Structure 1
Amino acid sequence: MTELPHRVGTRTATSLVADVLSRVPELTDALVTLIGEQNPGYRRMKVVPPHDLWQSCHDNLTRVLQLVSRAAGEEPDGTDLYDAARATGRQRAQQRMPLDDVLRSFRLGGRLVWEALIHRARAGELADPDELLNLASWVWTVVDDTSAQVAIAYHATERELVRVDEQRRATLWEGLLHGRAKEPAFALQAAQSIGVPVDGPYTVVVLDAETGDNRTGSALECGLAEAGVVSVWQARAGTLVGLLAVADTTVALRVLRADPRVPVGVSMTVPSLADVDVAYRQAVLARNTVPPGRVEVAALADRLPEALLLSAPALAEALIERRLGPLLKVPLAERRLLLDTLNSWLETGGSINQTANAVHCHRNTVINRLRRVETITGLDLADTAAHLELSLALRASWLLPPGPLA
């Protein structure tokens, strides 16, 4: 803010300012009309009520003239002559009025003040060139300084509003994820604030927060939008949560799987916002089915056995102990060979040849390893009734932390 020196003018300049100050209500009417004609942003936005605009113009014209009078020689009285400018900046930010339009109005006001001073000078035959030059200089210096105060207050309020909006949005998201959308009023409020319809269907996506710049919520939103999928995202502690307005996750999964950097969980679809809490729990469960150290996009619909195991960890541990317990005592290197071979054998439906191809060894080696598993565990692998439990036990051993078979 420019420091206004005293005694730069004369009694004539001070008198001119005082004369125009007495006509501020009339000048205010003229400025309101001028803004309506030459600042279309106010008409377009329609967020500043007429009485608000008039009072703001009145207060700021008064302060600008008082600042010019101070520059022209009047002693300061300790009054904060920028209070009206700051108040206007705060108010217009709260009304979401674009700052450029606000500052344009201040320039229009400055021009009107200058024209009023010139008019009074000419009417009183006081048009001394040196005095008018000083007066012009300080009118525009005051307008610039006042506009700067408007901008400072506007930006400060804008930052506060962003912070409040983010807090409100985060609160609404937490409510959604904890089931508050079962209340119709909350569902409507959340939908309006977050920008989604109340009715679904919806799918929830959860991924770890360490995503890098190209995997932020906004980047994911843009990538999905290009594929025709509407989504909104919210960062939470350690995770990023997405709400996708889709009934079929095929396209969304293709986008998410294009370049995964972290484990991702995708829920099944739910019919409305009221069920987002269910979908969120499903997405978290799906994400947890990704084994440690691996980067995958896990859709719950494809991981139901794993999800069941994670939902009952005590039973899963009992299953591991029942079917694989003796193998836990085998040295790590041999244990991994045996378990990999057993898993491939189960996945191939008991095919020795396919298992040999999968684990890159001779079919006789596969047979020997399977016999070794039978010897250690006491299982009869020919008994197909045990195959389901074996398969589930293997899956559970990869999921439950700490991995007992790692």
Structure 2
Amino acid sequence: MVPMPDASGSLLVTTAQRLRQRTDDLVERQLSALRTLRSYDRVPDDDLRRSCRRNVARVVAVLERRDQLPSEIEEDERASGQRRALQGIPSEDVVEAYRRVLSVLRDAFIEEAVAAGADPWAVLTGARQLWDLTDRFSSVLVSARQQVEIDAARRDERHRMAFLHRILTGGVDPAELVEGGAIHGILPDREYWVLRCRQRPDGVQRLIRQLESAGIGAGFRPLITMFDDDVVGISAIRPVPYDDAVIAVAGPVTLTGVPQAFAEATRVLNVAVRYRRTGVVDSSSLSVRAAVEQQGELGEQLFRRYITRLSGRSGSASAEILETVQSYLRERRSVAAVARALSIHENTVRYRLERYQTITGADLADTDALVEVWWALEYASIRPTGPGA
């Protein structure tokens, strides 16, 4: 604020008092300026008059070197900005309106200051103060509006996520499904992918943003949120792999099939996590491994038959034999391919396979035995270990 000589300060106070006496006239002038903005047609007259009276009181307070509004003023600029936001007035119109009414009051100040015989220094000082006032409270109005918009966005997001949770868990009746779906842009006759993902804690928010941006399609914004520490959602587009996250998907299904698809995605995720899979997985990509994960009792029986019997051998020898058998199954029972994969001689491969068959009694040429050995090895990779396993 520009320092003023005492005489100038006294003159500004006198001018402020004259402006206060003209409050009714200045309110009408402000109203005329505001009504030139079409968006302000939706604001009631009594609301605008209340704000215009506050503007006069604010200008008077500044000229009198006071920061506080009179006690009879019901609201400040922040409350006014919040109400304009709720009334749907664009932020640029709110700022323009405030500049227009302050311009009216600035002109009135200059009229009164000149009429009172103020010197140019006093007029300039007062005008500068009112310019500063315009800039200061324009930002207050914008800030208040932004807070309202943020609160509204958060509220809308909470509603979206609550609706998503209820869809996933089957807690929405058909009528509400149609109504709520229309609100959130979900069409009842369209098919969607249902997903459940797991990511390390420091990457969860990045995963959510990736799923939201990559899943936008045909005017639909994916519904993505947190559920029991996992990322879950509905997307119009099948997700793509991201970082080292495991993304279990099911579908596509219509809205009525979402709960069943979510249950399937949950099962797929549990299996994929136990197998240490990453990327996008579904029931077909996990194939029969889902059954291996679910049939723990059978897995234990086959584990004891085809793997535990090796435990009496030296640790390194047992590991080498099992590694060779696994490679043998993976390489489509090609001895030559196993030898290349493990960098050993083909005779070594044959020897280890024979030792395995001798110890376990498994005939790797027999289809039934081959399936059981594969099942035992797959179960071994996800078998619980440690106390209480």
Normalised to the residue count of structure 1, the TM-score between the two structures is 0.76
User: In 2, are the aligned partners of 1:265 and 1:285 still within 8 Å (CA)?
Assistant: no
Shift of 1:110: 0.9
Is 1:217 paired with 2:199?
no
Alignment of 1:292-311 (within 5 A): 295-311=278-294
Q: 1:137 aligns with which of 128, 132, 140?
A: 128
**2:162 match:** 171
Distance 1:382 1:399 in 2: 26
**Does the aligned pair in 2 maintain the 1:180–1:187 contact within 8 Å?**
no
Matched with 2:235 is 244
**Conserved 8 A contact 2:16-2:60:** yes
Give the aligned partner of residue 105 of structure 1. 97
2:43 is aligned, of 41, 51, 56, to: 51
**1:390 corresponds to:** 373
Of 10, 14, 17, the residue aligned with 2:20 is 17
Query: Shift in Å at residue 62 of structure 1?
Result: 0.7
Letter in 2 for 1:203: W
Deviations 1:223-281 (A, max 9, x none): 455999974433445433343314xx5xx5xx42xxx4324233231321232233233
Q: Which amino acid aligns with 1:30?
A: S
Counterpart residue type for residue 287 of structure 1? L
Aligned: 1:198 with 2:188: yes
* Count of residues paired in the alignment: 378
2-structure distance, mates of 1:155, 1:67: 23
Match of 2:335 in 1: 352
How far the C-alpha of 1:27 sits from its partner, in A, is 2.8
Residues 341/230 of structure 1: CA separation in 2 closer, same or farther (3 Å cut): farther
**DSSP 3-state at the match of 2:37:** helix
Contact kept in structure 2, 1:31 and 1:109, CA below 8 Å: yes
Aligned counterpart in structure 2 of residue 266 of structure 1, from 245, 248, 252: 248
Please give the alpha-carbon distance, in whole angstroms, between the structure 1 residues aligned to 2:74 and 2:128.
19
C-alpha offsets along residues 4-56 of structure 1, whole Å, 9 cap, x if unaligned?
x985624344123321x1125523531332222xxxxx3xxxxx76234x444
Q: Which deviations, in whole Å up to 9, do the C-alpha atoms of 1:77-114 show, x marking residues without a partner?
A: 85275824122222234456543332222112211223
C-alpha spacing 1:385/1:280, structure 2 compared with 1 (3 Å): same
Structure 1 stretch 10-19 or stretch 89-98: which is displaced more?
89-98
Aligned to 1:35: 37
Shift of 1:305: 0.8
Letter of the 1:398 counterpart: S
Partner Cα separation in structure 1 for residue 358 and residue 218 of structure 2: 53
Q: CA distance change for structure 1 residues 228 and 103 in 2, over 3 Å: closer, same or farther? A: closer
173 and 227 in structure 1: CA distance in 2 versus 1, 3 angstrom threshold: closer
Aligned to 1:39: none
Structure 1 residues 337 and 69: alpha-carbon distance in aligned structure 2, compared to 1, 3 A threshold: same
**Which ranges in structure 1 are unaligned for 5 or more consecutive residues?**
37-41, 43-47
Going from structure 1 to structure 2, the CA distance change for 1:182 and 1:365 (only over 3 Å counts) comes to farther
Matches within 5 A, 1:253-292: 255-256=240-241, 260-290=242-272
RMSD (CA atoms):
3.9
Deviations 1:262-304 (A, max 9, x none): 2423323132123223323333333333455554432322212
Identity, % of aligned pairs? 24
Q: Deviations over 1:208-230 (max 9, x none)?
A: 33374995332344445599997
Change (3 A) 1:232 1:72: closer
Q: For residue 200 of structure 1, what is the amino acid of its counterpart? A: R
Contact 1:397-1:403 at 8 Å conserved across structures: no
Given the superposition, is the C-alpha separation of residues 226 and 215 from structure 1 closer, same or farther in structure 2, using an over 3 Å criterion? farther
| Alpha-carbon distance in 2 for matches of 1:127, 1:27 | 24
Match of 1:89 in 2: 81
